Structure 1
């Protein structure tokens, strides 16, 4: 599995989460909501130091990652993160 993040999405994360080069963003599973890959679960994100990285993508000085314990959520899909200008927020797509 891989993580793909557009430059626009990276810019949003940097601005909205007050990120500096060298910071980390974790994508994780949270209970509740829904997604196209796991009913009853959704994707969360937080600024935190990694402990057991399974997948990572460094983009514009920021390390985006997924921990080993959250891999099951993606069901062998790659995570694509883009930016929705109209909603002013990131959008998540799951592609095999």
Structure 2
């Protein structure tokens, strides 16, 4: 159960989403549509700002990327690497 965001991916978030150091990016579990995942019928979405209790996080380039305690189950059997690939972010579950 690990979340890792590369420096290059964090820089992409800063540029594309106009984020500043100190901002929070929350991964939220969704049932319909979003970032594909290895969980059947579940997807990831993004929310800006800090909400809930942070359970899993990675701080990169001044940004905090995290799952709150309600959605931490999502990574129980997986690690998630957020990387830059072909000038876009890619979500790699292992």
The TM-score with structure 2 as length reference comes to 0.87
51-60 or 72-81, which deviates more: 72-81
| Length, aligned pairs only | 92
State the partner residue of 2:89.
90
Structure 1: stretches of 5+ with no match in the other structure:
none
Mapping of 1:16-95 within 5 angstroms?
16-33=16-33, 34-36=36-38, 38-85=39-86, 88-95=87-94
Instruction: Name the CA distance, whole Å, in 1 between partners of 2:70 and 2:52.
Output: 11
Aligned structure 1 segments of 4 or more residues deviating by more than 4 angstroms: none
Instruction: Name the CA distance, whole Å, in 2 between partners of 1:57 and 1:35.
Output: 19
On the 8 A contact 2:4/2:80 being kept in 1, the answer is yes
Between structures 1 and 2, the one with greater strand share:
1
Structure 2: stretches of 5+ with no match in the other structure:
none
RMSD: 1.4
The TM-score with structure 1 as length reference comes to 0.86
Instruction: Name the CA distance, whole Å, in 2 between partners of 1:93 and 1:68.
Output: 21
Deviations 1:20-60 (A, max 9, x none): 01000001101124422x11111111211132110111101
